[in-house]
Amino acid sequence: MREELLAQAEAVLEEWLKARGEAPTAETVEGFRLLALHRQGARGVPSFNACRETCREIAYHYNLLGEKREARTESMMQMLVEHLRLFVRGKLEVAGLGEFCCASRPLRQEIETHG
Amino acid sequence: MNSKYQKVAYYPGCALEGTAHAYSQSTKVVGKALGLQLEEVKDWNCCGAMEAKNVDPKVQTYLSSRVMSIAAHEMKHDVVMAPCNGCYHNLKKAEHELAHDAPAREVVERISKKAGHPAYRAGQVETIHALDWIKHGVGEDELKKRVKNSLKGLKVANYYGCMYTRPRHIFPEKDRGPGSESIAQPHFMDDLLAAAGAENVDFPLKTACCGGAHTLSDSDTSTKLVLNILRAAEAAGADVIATECPTCHSGLEMHQVRAEKVLGVKTGVKMLYFTQLLGIALGVSARKLGIHENVSDGMAALEKLG
């Protein structure tokens, strides 16, 4: 289960990187490719750091599940992966977000440019 | 205890005059109960929020700098306290830009001159959050002594949102070892509520995005992000989510209702500002703390305290 969830989280970040025209890294940070993918994905996009702790919590819950398999920990890890998916989906939908957590700049620019 | 925080300039910002009126009210009442003093910044303006920043980031820097200029020059304060994460973030950001960005300084000096007030210069005031104010102005030991109604038995998920600690370069005072706030695992709200008797649950989404920026452009994503936060809090065993940001708080409340209406998913966890919870612990009435103004029925969660 934990392997599957970690792979799903990595796949989410891969989508973000591919959408930006980058090849997702195969490297790891602190033993996790997920954290390396996040670091790569946040390069030049400071607002992407809003999911940094979510990625670190996913890694933490992965480790917890390696120690002891608990339904509650699994469920929490599922929710963390879901949060990452929703966050990245939002970022993808409004590509070219403002410098910090603001979705309206590209929309405003589009209105100003095209009326 | 930091004596500098005993009397500070208070910058409520727009949200605390509107949807988060109860946050402002409870902050004032709790401060008074703890012997702290606030003096509201005279003729304050919007911090620039997201709107001004999108037009021109330097205009936002100026707007935030004007608030600090009034506090420093007109009111002779050296500390400005902002309970709103957005205002706190923007004042800190302006401080950083004025310290490191010459063009930003030029713009601020030019507009300030035109507006007829002294330009704010980096370092003239220290901007703090309401959490810093109570944590360092009073501290847990003093708070414990003043608790009249312990929050014992109340399980709390502390939700800080994403603007309280990000981006890290504008918060040079955080991650400075014992006693300082953590960027990755903020704990000031946990510390204060624990001192008031509450049981803090492990909550892995404490700094996760609430979807606030998507609320108008993509409401469904916001609702799903909030629903995930609410479910995670419930899975962690929380009765209450404690908040310290008006945008996060109203987002959690409104999307909890929307999740039920649009997605058919009902969640029972309640939202209360951390100042409302501290006020209850200090023996202040729920009405004085504005709990009846919340959309979420906080009283239902507090019933278990007796």
| pLDDT higher than threshold 70 for residue B17 | yes
Q: Considering CB atoms only, which of B50, B57, B225 is closest to A83? A: B225
- Is B57 part of the contact surface with chain A (CB cutoff 8 Å)? yes
B contacts of A60 (beta carbons < 8 Å): 204
Closest partner residue to A98 (CB to CB) among B54, B212, B235 is B54
Q: Which of B54, B225, B235 lies at the smallest CB-CB distance from A87? A: B225
The predicted structure's pLDDT at residue A99:
37
Q: Residue B272 in contact with residue B242, Cβ under 8 Å? A: yes
B167 touches A at CB < 8 Å: yes
Give B7's strand partners. B37
Alpha carbon of A23: minimum distance to chain B alpha carbons (Å): 26
| pLDDT at residue B42 greater than cutoff 90 | yes
Non-local CB neighbours of B79 within 8 Å, separated by 6+ positions: B4, B5, B8, B9, B125, B126, B127, B128
Q: What is the dihedral of CA B76, B77, B83, B89, to 10 degrees?
A: 90
Share of chain B above pLDDT 70, in %: 97
- The pLDDT tens digits for A53-74 are 999 999 999 999 998 888 999 9
Residues in B closer than 8 angstroms to A82, CB to CB, are 228
Provide the b/e sequence for B160-177 (b: ≥16 CB within 10 Å).
bbbbbbbbeebbeebeee
How far is A69 from chain B, CA to nearest CA, in Å?
16
CB within 8 Å: A98 and B184: no
Chain B residues near residue A107 by CB distance under 8 angstroms: 217
Q: Could A87 and B208 be called an inter-chain contact, meaning their C-beta atoms sit closer than 8 Å?
A: yes
Q: How many CB atoms lie under 10 A from the CB of residue A39?
A: 17
pLDDT (average), residues B81-97: 96
| A73 vs B202: CA distance, rounded Å | 11
- Whole-number pLDDT of residue A89: 85
Provide mean pLDDT across the span A75-101. Answer: 78
Its ipTM equals: 0.83
Round the average pLDDT of chain B to a whole number and report it.
94
Q: Name the residue facing B167 among A46, A79, A83 (closest C-beta).
A: A46
Which residues numbered 266-295 in B keep a CB inside 8 Å of some CB on A?
none
Per-domain boundaries in chain A: 2-114
- How many CB pairs below 8 A link A and B? 98
CB contact under 8 A, B50 and A87: no
Q: What is the DSSP string of B53-75?
A: HHH-HHHHHHHHHHHHHIIIIIS
pLDDT recorded at residue A105: 46
Query: What pLDDT, on a 0 to 100 scale, did the predictor assign at position A47?
Result: 82
Backbone angles phi, psi at B82, to 5 degrees: -125, 115
**Confidence band for A92, pLDDT divided at 50, 70 and 90:** confident
Q: Give the torsion sign (CA, B85, B90, B93, B95).
A: negative
The dihedrals phi and psi of B225, each to the nearest 5 degrees, come to -65, -45
**pLDDT per position as a tens digit, B173-218:** 999 999 999 998 999 999 999 999 999 999 999 999 888 777 666 7
Per-residue pLDDT band at B305 (split at 50, 70, 90): confident
B255 vs B231: CA distance, rounded Å: 12
pLDDT of amino acid A107: 44
User: Has residue A102 got a pLDDT over 50?
Assistant: no
- For the ranges A33-37, A63-67, B298-302, the maximum mean pLDDT occurs at A33-37
Question: Which string of b and e fits B184-201 if b means at least 16 CB within 10 Å?
Answer: eebbbbbbbbbbbbbebb
> Tokens 């000031």, residue?
B188
- In order of their start, the domains of chain B are 3-129 (1.20.1050.140), 149-305 (3.40.50.11810)
Query: In what helix (H) or strand (E) does residue A10 lie, and over which residues does it extend?
Result: helix A2-19
Query: Residue B53: which of A49, A60, A102 has the nearest Cβ?
Result: A102
- What pLDDT band is residue A45 in, cutting at 50, 70 and 90? confident
pLDDT band, residue A103 (cuts 50/70/90): very low
User: Residue B240: is its pLDDT beyond 80?
Assistant: yes
Inspect the interface and report whether the beta carbons of B216 and A104 lie closer than 8 Å.
yes
* pLDDT above 60 for B280: yes
Torsion of CA B190, B154, B269, B131, to 10 degrees: -30
pLDDT at A96: 52
pLDDT over threshold 80, residue A108:
no
